Amino acid sequence: MLTDATRAVLFDLDGTLIDSAPDLGAAADQMRTDRGLASLPMERYRPMAGSGARGMLGVAFGITPDAPEFAPLREEFFLNYEARMMRTRVFEGVAELVAALCARGLQWGVVTNKSVRFTGPLTRAMPLFGTARAIVSGDTTPYAKPHPEPLFEAARQLGVPPERCIYVGDDERDMAAGRAAGMRTVAAAYGYMGAEADVTLWEADAAIASPMELLQLLEPA
């Protein structure tokens, strides 16, 4: 089982702990309607929510980060998102999962590629994160996932060796980062994976269909 010598559980943020897709999608869609373009259904945005501005602007305007207009559009998107991001809610079962981890004496934290510009206000405002012992944003270190350094930083903040941590995320990059850091990995199959995603190809140690399923992996063999 995953639990031998486990002392901490680290999580990705968007698509793993919180459901920010409605706010991210609305921020991008507002940019379309402000330009007189037709609104797109949320179903178009949701699978790309884990990719942040890159994913949302790709859906809204079909552009990539190498397009010359990408940078100003990204900042406009960020401003739209900041105006509505406090509406974000945690996934069903996440609060209960975190409470159960704490009751078992396990530390927990967050490693996200989301900028501290957004991670900071969100985690300070949401009671869920009051017991988190590490919050690592995409710009906390010089690197972002799939590089392992953000996970190493979280382990340092917790004072726990990486090999005694589990990392849970809803993106293949999360699994790659976890493996590179020497952590056991769990794919959150309830997250923002697009239709093309195949969790079985991610080389995760396990996969869960809901947050509370993680507890089953923490039971002694």
Instruction: Write out the catalytic residue numbers.
Output: 12, 14
User: Which of 173, 215, 166 lies closest to 191, judged by CA?
Assistant: 173
Please state, in angstroms and rounded to a whole number, the distance separating the CA atoms of residues 79 and 102: 35
Cα→Cα distances 40→62, 65, 190, 208, Å: 13, 21, 23, 30
Q: Which two tokens stand for residue 2?
A: 């995953």
Residues 6 or more apart whose CB falls under 8 angstroms from that of 188 comprise 12, 15, 16, 168, 169, 170, 207, 208, 211
**Cis peptide, bond prior to residue 211, ω within 30 of zero:** no
Q: Is 165 exposed, middle or buried (0-12, 13-18, 19+ CB in 10 A)?
A: buried
